[in-house]
Amino acid sequence: MADRQHALDLDATDPLAGVRARFRIPDGLIYLDGNSLGALPVGVPAAVGRTVEQEWGTDLIGSWNANGWWDAPRRVGDRVGALVGAAPGQVVVCDSTTVNLYKLLVAARRLRPERPAVLIDADDFPTDRYIVESVAGASVARSLGPEVGVVVRSHVNYQSGRLHDLAGLTAAAHDAGVLVLWDLSHSVGVVPVDLDGAGADFAVSCTYKYLNGGPGAPAFAYVAHRHQEALRQPLAGWLGHAQPFAMAPGYEPAAGIGRVLAGTPPIVSLAALEAALDAYDGVSLADVRAKSVALTSLFIELVADRFGDAFSLASPAAALDRGAHVCLSHPDAYPIVQALIARGVVGDFRQPDLLRFGFAPLYSRYVDVWDTVDRLAAVMASGEWDTAAYRRRAAVT
């Protein structure tokens, strides 16, 4: 990579180059935080406006049937499912990742009552660890033993970006009689996932990162067909009932994936997600993955060229072991991230010393990678990061 022109040349031949026009990206901004909040797809404002003004404002309560609100968790679930290798009827969109993880973890443990321990890595995402501790109590395991009935694992680690072998780990767990609950939050939409092909059991994920569903967009839950009939989740709300409007005396779970539902879903946020998924129309996830690997590889290469060992790579060096974000470590990570934001490059800081950069192949360009490293060089050369203005603020997001 001799110069910026080479990056521009790569963009010129990128099969996904045209997809960037499906998003509103502020002029001049290099947005490398799509792994935290995906950019706004162009069709979302009109779709949300229609949901609010026509469906809610005019059609009112009739919209539950006439405008498909009732079916939305399953309908949008099937669209998300198509991005993770799930045949229809196995995914619903509802609640948050935290809530869905809780529902499926309690349900999974009920399928393995004789093996109550739950395995989770000590460096997995906090919500995942906290929910496992809340559900399993003292029975949290750090390695696979005969007492473990369920493994909870992020497909891509939120910090390091390490990509786990979903199919291989699922098969190994099954050989040991163990169920696996995957958190796909950092892989859905950027890493090809084949849940059905891997014989996966359960999965959850947010939809506001690479799926661009909007801030706090409802999450999703996947339950393989073969587990659905026996599934008993604890948030036994009326929307998951076999006959919600019978107002029946006892809880009878709906047939199929519907039993994962609990309360009424946030329809306006769900409408944003549904419209956002149009950005994936006709997009090949193989192309997305290929570009993702190329973007992160280019970034790592340029950082090594320009900075030597001033920054340490805190993500796997092997491209196929990474998801779509890269972490660098530096003792002054926090003020450097702030100074970089001031130069129009939005990444984020993660405790204790990480600069995290997410590359969203649907709208991130090769030239953005070049310019990011160039601006980082300007930040470091000027020493501007080492000022009170950038050091003083505590990181809150």
Among 8, 176, 246, 310, binds a copy of itself (CB under 8 A): 246
Residue type, 157: N
Catalytic residue among 74, 109, 291, 356: 356
Is residue 74 part of the annotated active site? The answer reads: no
Q: Is the CB of residue 41 less than 8 Å from the CB of residue 25?
A: no
Whether the CB-CB separation of 170 and 59 falls below 8 Å is answered with no
Please give the Cα distance from 274 to 128 (Å, whole number).
26
Q: Rg for the chain (alpha carbons), in Å?
A: 22
**Contact between residue 292 and residue 359 where contact means Cβ atoms under 8 Å apart:** yes
Q: Which residue has the tokens 């339950």?
A: 223
**In terms of CB distance, is 85 or 258 closer to a copy of itself?**
258
Nearer to a copy of itself, 383 or 392 (CB): 392
Q: Is 48 in the site for a copy of itself (CB under 8 A)?
A: yes
CB of 332 to a copy of itself, least distance (A): 18
Contact between 189 and 19 (Cβ < 8 Å): no
Binding part of the chain for a copy of itself, among 146-154, 221-229, 242-250, 306-314 by CB under 8 A, reads 242-250
Burial 127-139 (b: 16+ CB within 10 A, else e): bbbebbeebbeeb
- Interface map 66-85 toward a copy of itself (x if CB under 8 A): ---xx---------------
CB nearer a copy of itself, residue 127 or residue 364:
127
**Which of 23, 125, 202, 220 is flagged as catalytic?**
125
| Catalytic residue chosen out of the listed positions 20, 109, 153, 209 | 209
* Residue 24 binds a copy of itself, judged by CB under 8 A: yes
DSSP 236-255: --GGGBSSGGG--SS--BPS
The verdict on 111 binding a copy of itself (CB under 8 A) reads no
SS3 state at 79 = helix
Closest distance to a copy of itself from the beta carbon of 215 (Å) = 4
What is the footprint of a copy of itself within residues 160-199 (CB under 8 A)?
none
Site stretch for a copy of itself (CB under 8 A), options 95-103, 108-116, 143-151, 284-292 = 95-103
The yes or no reply on residue 222 touching a copy of itself (CB under 8 A) is no
- Segment 256-275, which members bind a copy of itself (CB under 8 A)? 262-270, 272
* DSSP secondary structure code for residue 114 in this structure: T
Q: Which tokens go with 387?
A: 């000022």
Q: Does 247 participate in binding a copy of itself (rule CB under 8 A)?
A: yes
Residues 6+ apart with CB under 8 A from 188: 80, 83, 84, 205, 207, 209, 210, 211
103 classed as catalytic:
no
Q: Is residue 146 close enough to count as binding a copy of itself by CB under 8 A?
A: no
Q: Name the DSSP class of 336.
A: H
Cα separation values, 22 from 34, 276, 363, 386, Å: 14, 9, 8, 38
Three-point CA angle 214, 84, 152, nearest 5°: 90
Residue 349 is a catalytic residue: no
* Of positions 15, 146, 215, 387, contacts a copy of itself by CB under 8 A: 215
Give, as ranges, the residues between 304 and 363 that touch a copy of itself (CB under 8 A).
346, 348, 350-351
The SS3 assignment for 182 reads strand
Q: Is 131 in the site for a copy of itself (CB under 8 A)?
A: yes
List 68, 199, 237, 344, residue binding a copy of itself (CB under 8 A): 237
The only residue of 310, 319, 389, 395 in contact with a copy of itself, by rule CB under 8 A: 395
User: By C-alpha distance, which of 40, 75, 72 is closest to 55?
Assistant: 72
Instruction: Note whether 57 binds a copy of itself by CB under 8 A.
Output: yes
Catalytic residue among 14, 33, 183, 201: 183
209 part of the active site: yes
Restricting to residues 4-23, name those near a copy of itself by CB under 8 A: none
| Cβ-contact 254, 261 below 8 angstroms | yes
Q: Where in the sequence numbering do the catalytic residues fall?
A: 125, 183, 208-209, 356
